[in-house]
Chain A
């Protein structure tokens, strides 16, 4: 039995740093969310206005629409990333010539900055000067205009996210898959289990912790996407790709509604925490306690 003191000691630097840079800013944002405040104005005074900001958020059609498109974006992007990422990780379990070379290539998008990814996809998809609309037009006669079609803009942001982040899923799942013991798989083969049974009854339960950790990370990061989408579409056309991260950014910077932006942030953060907490309690916590 090891002493609890040592356990807390090992945790303390983490708690200390996250406390200094996580809790204080959070308290500040909650406090500001009860004020009307434009810090960039000539007279930057905080006016306490009770829960006015929160009342506004609930009736803010733009925010609610933004929440809707965000959930759609997160859903399509994360589900595709997990499915494709798993299939690719599984494909890397086999041996074939040039494996590590291909693995390196497949990981390249991951090392690119979101702001660069946003710029490059903007350059590739801008109507008339972008390569993708041009090729689609000459090869298939498809007119892709992310400046006008909401669906096109939405799809391109999803595709960009898939291109950028699938390697993260692949990489973590490779790490999980290689550390699996081979006995259960050999046993399953002897017992004549088919591929689907092996996947549902052996692979999935065994990689579950790593899989869930990866899904969580992707879920959270997709929820707060800003730079990439801001660069690519600026939230447009209209508000088709105005995801909550972008929405908050636009409230705070061009429109300088700092108090209102804070209220939205608190609500978004609260929603993310509730969603993740529910998933966590039902999926991970029981497992950790058992172990």
Chain B
């Protein structure tokens, strides 16, 4: 095999990075432009930086609350669906359950539902049906964490299944023969081997939950409003405040970046794991 020049790769990726980053750069440009400049002929380079949109966002205490809600909901949801998806995939790949392929396929159909129409039944369920005493699931963190399972749990199951299928069954069968409990097999054998897949699932489900808009906009009104719904509050009758929206968007990116950075270590750990195995 011929060896390609690594600097050629760097050149290629630098070019590609410009394409990838440009819309994000433009988001930043919009966020620091004075509002009057937005509707003139655009300059590709920044001429003046005006931080007032950021000042506005920083001083907005409701947005801070929204950010906290978003963090709680997406973290709770990602951890929940990754755990449940992991257990479900273990059951699906290791047990000879009748009809398991149909069950597996059914889980994924939950992600196919066109969202607009399902907003109302979910709203009714959360406000009128799933009520215990005075406690309603509507507009609570728990409610949103559970509702987000409808699209994230199928995703977790689907991305984790190839991972668990890839772990040789002989490994855990041997452990079962040796008398290890199911819990021990899962935690000591399967979990470490599935870590790269789990990391990818965790980060992606987190991001899906963090970015969800339609459900959050309909099912929450005060206590559990998320950051993405905060964006739409700047679309007013007098016109959209694009600058402020862009500034909030930049803020929504920061936690996502941090979470991604944290989990990427594990994906890289997965990379070395693959190398050792191969």
Give the B-binding residues of A (Cβ under 8 A): 2, 4, 6-11, 13-15, 17-18, 20-22, 24-26, 28-29, 39, 88, 91, 94-98, 100, 102-117, 119-121, 123-124, 128-131, 134-135, 163, 168, 171-172, 174-176, 178-183, 189, 209-210, 213-214, 216-217, 220-221, 223-224, 226-227, 244-245, 248-249, 252-253, 258, 261-262, 264-265, 268-269, 272-273, 276-277, 280, 285, 288-289, 291
Contact = CB atoms under 8 A, between A and B. Distances in A.
Contacts of A111: 207, 210-211, 253, 256-257, 260
Contact of B13 (A102, A171, A227, A277): A102
A11 B228 contact: no
Q: What are the nearest 4 A-B pairs in CB distance? A: A7-B95, A113-B211, A182-B278, A25-B121
B118 interface: yes
B187 interface: no
B116 A252 contact: yes
Given A21-B150, A28-B121, A226 B214 contact: yes
Nearest to B16: A106
B211 A10 contact: no
Which of A21, A100, A121 gathers most chain B CB within 10 Å? A21
A65 B142 CA distance: 40
A25 B253 contact: no
B127 interface: no
A183 B147 CA distance: 44
Interface string B134-172: 000000000000110110011101110111011000000
21 contacts: A21-B146, A24-B129, A98-B10, A111-B260, A112-B24, A121-B23, A123-B26, A123-B246, A172-B200, A174-B267, A175-B196, A178-B196, A213-B158, A213-B159, A213-B161, A224-B112, A249-B116, A265-B113, A268-B114, A276-B109, A289-B101
Nearest to B231: A115
A104 B264 contact: yes
Given A6-B95, A96-B7, A209-B161, 5 more contacts: A10-B87, A97-B10, A115-B228, A175-B267, A288-B104
B270 A96 contact: no
Contacts of B68: none
A135 B44 contact: yes
Interface of A is mostly: helix
Give the interface size bracket for B toward A.
35 or more
Nearest to B23: A120
A14 B85 contact: yes
Contacts of B20: 105-106, 108-109, 163
Interface string B252-278: 110011001100100110110111011
Given A13-B87, A116-B27, A269 B112 contact: yes
A212 to B, nearest CB: 8
A257 to B, nearest CB: 11
Contact of A223 (B42, B87, B112, B121): B112
B30 interface: yes
B97 A4 contact: yes
B277 to A, nearest CB: 7
A18 B149 contact: yes
Nearest to A103: B264
Contact of B107 (A14, A25, A104, A117): A14
B79 interface: no
